[in-house]
C-alpha cells in the first residue's frame, strides 16, 4: 500500500473533515451554552436594577404624597380662615398721584411701614379663594417637578 493510494487519501480527507466538523459542532454548542449563562446573569442583574429603581420611585412617590397631604391641610386651613373672616386678603394697590400728602396716621393704620397703599378685598371670598387655588396649583406643580427631578437624579446615579 502506498500513501498515494486514492483510498488512503480519501480516508485521510474524511478523517480530517469529520474532526473539523465535530470540533465545529462542539465549539458552537459550547458557545451557545456560554451565551445562555451570560444572558441569564444579565437578566438577573437587570431585574435587581429594576427592583431598586422601583423602590426609589416608590419612596419618592410616598414622599410626594405626604408633602401633598400636608399642603392640602394647610390649604384647607387657609380656606377656612378666609371663609370665617379671620384671614383677609390685602393686595398692593398703586395710589393715584395726588397733591395731598398721605398723613402718618393713615400709614400707621394700614399697618405698612413702607408707605405703600394696600387694598382689602371687599368681602369677596371668591377672589381670595381663586388666588389661593392658583397658588396651591402652582405649589403642587413645583412639588411634583422637584420629586421628578430627585427621582431622575437618584435613578441616573444608581446605574
Side-chain half-sphere exposure of 128, counting CA atoms within 13 A: 22
Q: Is residue 154 included in any domain, yes or no?
A: yes
Q: Is residue 102 included in any domain, yes or no?
A: no
159, pLDDT greater than 90: no
Picking from 111, 107, 131, 113, the residue whose alpha carbon sits closest to that of residue 121 is: 131
Q: Is residue 78 included in any domain, yes or no?
A: yes
The residue written with cell numbers 379663594 in the block is 129
Taking the C-alpha atoms of residue 152 and residue 159, their distance in angstroms, rounded to an integer, is 11
Q: Is residue 109 included in any domain, yes or no?
A: no
Which domain covers residue 22, as residue numbers?
1-53
Taking the C-alpha atoms of residue 78 and residue 86, their distance in angstroms, rounded to an integer, is 9
Confidence of residue 88 (pLDDT cuts 50, 70, 90): confident
Average pLDDT, the chain: 82
CB 149 within 8 A of CB 63: no
Amino acid at each position: 500500500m502506498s500513501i498515494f493510494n486514492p483510498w488512503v487519501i480519501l480516508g485521510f480527507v474524511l478523517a480530517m473533515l469529520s474532526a473539523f466538523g465535530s470540533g465545529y459542532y462542539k465549539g458552537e454548542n459550547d458557545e451557545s451554552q456560554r451565551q445562555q449563562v451570560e444572558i441569564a446573569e444579565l437578566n438577573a442583574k437587570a431585574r435587581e436594577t429594576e427592583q431598586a429603581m422601583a423602590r426609589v420611585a416608590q419612596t419618592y412617590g410616598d414622599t410626594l404624597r405626604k408633602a401633598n397631604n400636608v399642603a392640602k391641610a394647610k390649604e384647607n386651613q387657609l380656606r377656612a380662615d378666609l371663609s370665617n373672616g379671620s384671614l383677609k386678603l390685602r393686595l398692593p394697590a398703586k395710589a393715584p398721584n395726588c397733591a395731598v400728602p398721605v398723613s402718618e396716621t393713615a400709614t400707621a393704620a394700614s399697618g405698612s411701614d413702607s408707605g405703600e397703599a394696600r387694598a382689602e378685598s371687599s368681602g369677596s371670598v371668591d377672589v381670595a379663594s381663586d388666588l389661593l387655588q392658583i397658588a396651591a396649583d402652582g405649589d403642587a406643580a413645583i412639588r411634583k417637578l422637584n420629586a421628578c427631578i430627585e427621582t431622575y437624579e437618584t435613578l441616573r446615579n444608581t446605574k
